[in-house]
Amino acid sequence: MSFDLGIETFTQHLILWLSPLSFLCLAFGVAFLFKKARNRNLYILATILVLDIILYGNVGFYRFYTDFVTIPVLSQTSNFGDLGSSIAEILSWTDIFFFIDFFIVAIAIKLVKDQQDTFTFRKRFALASIAVAGLVFAVNLYYAEQERPQLLTRSFDRVLLVKNLGVYNYHLYDIYTQTKASTQRAMANSDELVEIQNYATANKASINEEMFGKYEGRNVIFVSMESLQSFVINQEMNGHIVTPFLNSLTQDKDTYYFSDFYHQTGLGKTSDSEFIVENGFLGSGNGAAFFTNGENTYTGMSGVLSDNGYYTSVLHPNNKSFWNRDRMYQSLGVDHFYDIDAYTIGEGQSVGWGMKDIPFFEQSAQILADSPQPFASRLITLTNHHPFELDEEDKLIPEYDSNSGTLNRYFQTVRYMDESLKVFFEQLKTQGIYDNSIIVMYGDHYGISELHHKAMAKYLGKEELTAYDHALLQSVPLFIHIPGSNDGQEITKTSGQIDIRPTVLHLLGISTANDVQFGDDLFSEEHDGIVPFRDGRIITSDYVFTQDVCYDRATGEEVEKAVCEPAFEKSGAVLNYSDQLISLDLLRFYEQHQDISPQTNTQ
């Protein structure tokens, strides 16, 4: 009732009923071992309360992230205080019913007289409960493996795990994998990095000789566009143009517009997009790598640019500790972080998550103008963030008219962000840094989750949205704007955030020949167009793989899974190797295995 697990077949329904029983038989079977009724009752109540909290915690988390809680996510509690209005948006007074069993049992303990029995009798019940738990779990796992072979070894999708194991067994599996990863990290050695580096080297696309180093020495300005999805680009909402400025860039002679580009983030959202762009491999499958592995060694793009004479910075008008950025940026080689303390926020210039985008860009342009050149700076916007609320004076278009307040408001905040980007370009020209810069703008992650499919279907003119539709809705825009290039065009090759790092470094003439990364230069003729997602989905120019089904991309029709296998193999390698690089901190061995340091290539 609370999760969209895609239950279709009779077997899937059977698994759904079986999956909680093994854990519950085990958890409550222990109660029989308590000799005193009072202790037994306290254990039962405590167990119910803990399980209710776990279940409801996943429900609330799913409403916001359409994903499930992991052990590392629990270390991210410092972020919760900043969620504010976003949390209020997903809560409901009816949620009290998630805890109704606790009150029913508490009343029953008071009213029902405890039966007198022997410890031997209770011990037999305890053993019987454990035996039933084992039997039910075996049956559950058998059917789960029939539905999804190699569920526990090849699945990167937590929805599939919960669908086939249940919430509680999934958490036991999560504890096991986290414990195993901690042990493996302590025992890791440089040989494991060699294997990954060999794979990365063998699968690198060739450089585009014409584009390599063409803009050497230019400033680079990255703009992370909060929650911006491609479905609003060059589109209208009830007759209102949503992104007039970005629309103009799609036709600009100085802009390369990538129209089939995808975010590849997981639970880390914006921080994941930063991680991917910096490193050229995917973020953690268990939480935000900014939190869980912030102290790791990385070969971040900021560090590479710094080694090549660039002043690197991040500008973001939020608390420096949000997403653990203050520590993570040090690991990535960022020279300076301009957080909220670097800005003057006047009356009416703040919104739920921090500073409004227009004053943020106005003040940021001045910061960039005062920075040493060449610089490479990343600006992170805030206004277009869930729950997408604006002051009246900032609403440039009316709301949409669907049954989703979230989608209705989304068009307004996107329109405001579009206007702020126009202001930013004007400010860059005023400050005299526009002409000598490369401006890279990309959507960081989705804004409208699958929980709003009914409203999205209405906007898109469809009866309903399928898993295939949802996968393609993960497209976010990428603009590489190079003033004076005069070669702008729309590029339709399928690509993802993992490709930004090598693309930008090559434009600046910086070699990535030795770098451990899995993306490809977007200007390379050998770019393969396979986009792996953190949850196991895959999109190529020909196929879409999602929820364990392979679709023909052109028709949306289901096809034999075998045709997706080549893409699945590469995606699996990228996911596995990304996980190993992060969880085992393998880049601490990197210096031992590179023949040359990243350097400016003079080809």
Residues 6 or more apart whose CB falls under 8 angstroms from that of 150 comprise none
Report the distance separating Cα 14 and Cα 347, nearest Å: 57
Q: Tell me, yes or no, if 270 is annotated catalytic.
A: yes
* Identity of the amino acid at 429: K
Nearest CA-CA partner of 509 in 314, 253, 224, 309? 309
Distances in Å between the alpha carbon of 481 and those of 148, 246, 439, 494?
Answer: 44, 11, 5, 19
Query: In b/e form, how buried is each residue of 117-140, taking b as 16+ CB within 10 angstroms?
Result: eeeeebeeebeebeeebeebbeeb
Amino acid at site 310: Y
Q: How far is CA 165 from CA 121, 147, 172, 206, 482, in A?
A: 31, 12, 10, 43, 50
Q: How many CB atoms lie within 10 A of CB 593?
A: 15
Q: How distant, in Å, are the alpha carbons of 79, 310, 455 from that of 268?
A: 11, 27, 25
Q: 208: number of CA atoms within 13 Å, CB side?
A: 18
Q: H or E element: which one contains 131?
A: helix 119-147
The rounded distance, in Å, linking the Cα atoms of 292 and 280 is: 18
Which of 270, 383, 413, 540 is labelled catalytic?
270
Q: Strands of 375-380's sheet, edge to edge?
A: 336-338, 311-315, 375-380, 219-225, 437-443, 478-481, 255-258, 489-491
Show which residues are catalytic.
270
